[in-house]
């Protein structure tokens, strides 16, 4: 993609494609015409239990192999389309993100780096990036108080992604059903994914929204919390790392070991007052301090502190 001229700030997000094409393009502009580059990461990283030296070595090699595709030499481009490089180019994306960020930072291409997870921000700070924690937040268009009957006991929505989460989801559903409690599953298989008003309508019917992990370090909770809490559905989750220090178990959502999730769900289905207490705390947090507007303002404030800009032309890519 081509970034237009006369832009003060470029904000990239996620990434959903190859990250380096954006900062590399910006680096070719003269300093007086070079916009401030901000990246807000939402992507997971490899297993944090890996020794840093091992993690970084694999990440740097993965980033290097990805950069071969951008080489000017037709020979190198052709080489990258052959095994094993072609095989690598379609895999190990989490390592690629780490390696690409390290490479971009070493080149001086990133002016502001932020992450929706404090755990990941801390990881990147240890890797030489001046990483900020800027949480994911709710959007007014994603929630409403429809005053519907809460006739769905437990809601799950999202991709199953791996065997662990799929097995756990089915196991919990079967155990709940044995107690007469039904779980509504939106996984793109049993029921199609829902978005916008349809999703808001469904969350307004759910007493509890369940959060399950694909692996122990996943930061899936911020996304489900921002949607469920703003629609006043109680979030029940297996234990997660402290990705967002503002959002605390027992106060804004319920955390329970996998072996106790069913009993915990049954407890909060029966105890309306306790469920309502946490729901109200979560609703207040998700509509005041944890909003996308506030997070974007934090990023812009950081931009101004980095380099004051006369105009406020923002390009989001």
Query: What phi, psi does 153 have (nearest 5°)?
Result: -65, -55
Count of Cβ atoms closer than 10 Å to residue 48 Cβ: 15
Structure tokens at 128: 């030489």
Among residues 126, 111, 131, the alpha carbon closest in space to that of 34 is found at: 111
Tokens read off for 312: 């406020």
Find, among 126, 128, 113, the residue nearest to 23 by Cα.
Answer: 113
SS3 category, 161:
coil
The β-bridge partners of 184 are: 155
Question: Number of C-alpha atoms within 13 angstroms, CB side, residue 177?
Answer: 9
In angstroms and rounded to an integer, the radius of gyration of the C-alpha atoms of the chain is 22
Position of tokens 């369940």?
A: 210
**Cβ(156)–Cβ(186) below 8 Å:** yes
Tokens of 47: 């297993």
Residue in the block written with tokens 């980095």: 306
Distance separating the N- and C-terminal Cα atoms of the chain:
9
Tokens of 142: 């994603």
Which superfamily does CATH assign the domain made up of 140-287 to?
Answer: Glycogen Phosphorylase B; (3.40.50.2000)
Quote the CA–CA distance of 164 and 316 in Å, as a whole number. 35
In tens digits, what is the pLDDT along the chain, a chain of 317 residues?
688 888 889 999 988 778 999 999 999 988 778 899 999 999 999 999 999 999 999 999 999 988 887 777 787 777 777 787 777 777 899 999 999 999 999 999 999 999 999 999 999 999 889 999 999 999 999 999 999 999 999 999 999 999 999 999 999 999 999 999 999 999 999 999 999 999 999 999 999 999 999 999 999 999 999 999 999 999 999 999 999 999 999 999 999 999 999 999 999 999 999 999 999 999 999 999 999 999 999 999 999 887 765 555 555 55
Q: Delimit the domains of the chain by residue range.
A: 9-137+292-316, 140-287
Q: Could you tell me if 143 and 151 are in contact, meaning their C-beta atoms sit under 8 angstroms apart?
A: no
Residue in the structure block whose two tokens are 């370090």: 217
> Cβ(120)–Cβ(220) under 8 Å?
no
């Amino acid at each position: 993609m081509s970034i237009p001229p006369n832009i003060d700030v470029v904000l990239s997000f996620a990434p959903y494609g190859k990250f380096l094409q954006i900062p590399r393009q910006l680096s070719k502009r003269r300093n007086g015409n070079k916009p401030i580059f901000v990246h807000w990461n939402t992507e997971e990283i490899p297993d944090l239990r890996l020794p840093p030296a091992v993690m970084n070595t694999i990440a740097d090699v993965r980033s290097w192999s990805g950069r071969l595709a951008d080489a000017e030499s037709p020979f190198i481009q052709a080489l990258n389309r052959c095994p094993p490089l072609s095989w690598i180019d379609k895999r190990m994306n989490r390592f690629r993100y780490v390696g690409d960020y390290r490479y971009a930072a070493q080149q001086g291409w990133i002016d502001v780096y932020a992450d929706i997870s404090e755990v990941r921000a801390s990881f990147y700070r240890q890797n030489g990036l001046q990483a900020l924690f800027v949480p994911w937040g709710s959007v007014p268009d994603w929630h409403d108080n429809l005053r519907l009957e809460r006739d769905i006991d437990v809601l799950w929505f999202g991709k199953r992604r791996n065997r662990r989460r799929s097995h756990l989801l089915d196991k919990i559903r079967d155990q709940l059903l044995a107690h007469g409690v039904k779980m509504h599953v939106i996984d793109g298989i049993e029921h199609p994914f829902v978005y916008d008003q349809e999703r808001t309508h469904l969350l307004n019917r759910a007493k509890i929204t369940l959060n399950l992990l694909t692996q122990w370090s996943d930061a899936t909770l911020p996304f489900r919390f921002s949607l469920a809490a703003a629609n006043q559905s109680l979030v029940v989750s297996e234990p997660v790392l402290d990705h967002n220090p503002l959002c605390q178990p027992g106060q804004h959502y319920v955390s329970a070991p996998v072996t106790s999730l069913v009993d915990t769900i049954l407890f909060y289905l029966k105890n309306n007052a306790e469920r309502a207490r946490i729901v109200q705390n979560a609703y207040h947090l998700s509509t005041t301090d944890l909003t996308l507007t506030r997070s974007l303002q934090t990023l812009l404030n950081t931009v101004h502190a980095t380099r004051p800009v006369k105009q406020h032309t923002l390009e989001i890519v």
